[in-house]
A and B are shown apart, each in its own frame.
Chain A
Amino acid sequence: MTQKNYEDYLNELKEIVRKIEDDETSIEESLKLYEYGSILVTKCENLLNEAEMKVKELTKESL
């Protein structure tokens, strides 16, 4: 299995939000989705933070 990247996580998250926003989805299902969605948000935030750190390092190097 290949490592999931930021875009994969984001797309999953989008799908989850779409499902939660769908009135057909049950609350139980929504809760489960919400839990997983929160994990994805954290993951995505971490990836963005990492990217930002790297950019900062690179900027420091180039100075």
Chain B
Amino acid sequence: MGFEDDRDPFKGEVFSVHEIANVISSLFDDSRLQEIRIRGEITNYVHHGKGHRYFSLSSGEGGYGSVIPCVMWKNDGERLKFDLRNGLLVTGFGTVSNYAQGGRYQFYVTEVRSLGAGDKFLQLEEWKRMLALEGLFDSSRKRNLPKFPLKIGIVTSKTGAVFHDVLNVLTRRYPVELVLSPTAVQGDSAHEEIALAIRRVESMVDLIIVARGGGSFEDLFPFQHPTVVRSIASAKVPVISAIGHEVDITLSDLVSDLRAPTPSAAAELAVPDRENILNNFKDMRKLLLESIRNKIEDNRFCLLNLHERLISKRFERKLNFARENVVMISDKLENLVKQKIMHERIILKGESTRLFANNPNRIFEKGFSLTTKKGKIIRGSSELEKGDCVKIRFALGNCDATVERIE
């Protein structure tokens, strides 16, 4: 079992990293790398907070040539008579050596002489001018993103972290289908591939994200290419761009309908947040119910008011008034009747007085008497003769009498 001794790659001496790093460093002792002048275009320029300057010297062959990372220490940089910047064509003087801690070689620049703007920078400026003239960067061209996209296309590398970053954000925020249209994102023919990837996916989706992770000026160069810029401009659906880091703004970013600082940010801009939407709905529902409740309350109040008016004081007053009227009229009626009765009573009294006044018995009571002879009232003595029998009536009782003498 196992390897035969002479075929086992692990047989023999094992070196430490440090030992090999020292070997590599010694290789840079070559006189061709010591105190030399290199001509190239400055790219990826960073003026570090501590005062050191980091940049690349690029061969400037359309963006796809060689690159050498450079460092210029603070004290050397302070002697510069001009500002370093991207796109500047320069000659640097210094030494190339191994930076063992970083695992890379660097050109340690001590002096820089400017040769004017570099090819790559000039190329970029020319493209920018040309495309701007075509109106591709006009803000009026920018399309609004769909509010609720169903399918989103992502044009990026099949292997990088970008796709997964975007997928993660989308999964968390909003249910949407993500279609990967894979493409190389750097290299000589990347611009052709990127444009093709956009064409391939644009009919299948509502929105395209063109994205690439961070990289050097040269790495991002395909996204400066007019082929890519034009394919974004003519895409059938809106495009969000997220190329490199926040500080890198490519021509693709200028032409896209929306520029995102990073691929994750692009995903966030592409879709609404599910939670926000749901909360929004909840708030709206609450508001709706609240307004219905208020409306009911208002109506109840209004109804109460009407109800009060329906059996209002005025109505009662009207009834009372009518009642008073009735009372008044009935009083009047009663009075009239009473008066009439009284009147009648007076008449009756008169009559009765008269009636009583004529009572014949009262004459008898005064002492008068009535004399009759054979039922006939005697009014004078001539009607009598001596010896006649008469009947005398008094107030109380009667008597029979005989006439004795006539006078």
Contact = CB atoms under 8 A, between A and B. Distances in A.
A61 B309 CA distance: 38
Given A14-B306, A27-B322, A41-B307, A21 B296 contact: no
A30 B19 CA distance: 115
Interface in B261-302: 282, 285-286, 289, 292-293, 296, 299-300, 302
A48 B312 contact: no
B285 A62 contact: yes
Contacts, number: 60
Interface residues of A, number: 24
A27 B314 CA distance: 12
Given A34-B311, A48-B300, A55 B293 contact: yes
Given A23-B318, A27-B319, A30-B318, A41 B310 contact: yes
A17 B310 contact: yes
Contacts of B302: 10
A4 to B, nearest CB: 15
A45 to B, nearest CB: 7
Contact of B296 (A13, A20, A30, A48): A48
A54 B49 CA distance: 66
Contacts of A16: 310
B315 interface: yes
Contact of A30 (B293, B300, B315): B315
A58 B309 contact: no
User: Which of A17, A23, A52, A59 has the largest count of B CB atoms less than 10 A from its CB?
Assistant: A17
A45 B315 CA distance: 22
B222 to A, nearest CB: 52
Contacts of A27: 318-319, 322
Nearest to B319: A27
A34 B303 contact: no
B306 A55 contact: no
Contact of A21 (B299, B307, B309, B322): B309
B310 A34 contact: yes
B296 A51 contact: yes
Interface string B22-54: 000000000000000000000000000000000
CB-CB nearest 9 A-B residue pairs: A37-B310, A17-B309, A41-B307, A44-B303, A51-B296, A13-B306, A17-B310, A48-B300, A52-B296
7 contacts: A20-B309, A20-B314, A30-B315, A44-B303, A51-B292, A52-B293, A58-B289
Interface of B: 282, 285-286, 289, 292-293, 296, 299-300, 302-303, 306-307, 309-312, 314-315, 318-319, 322
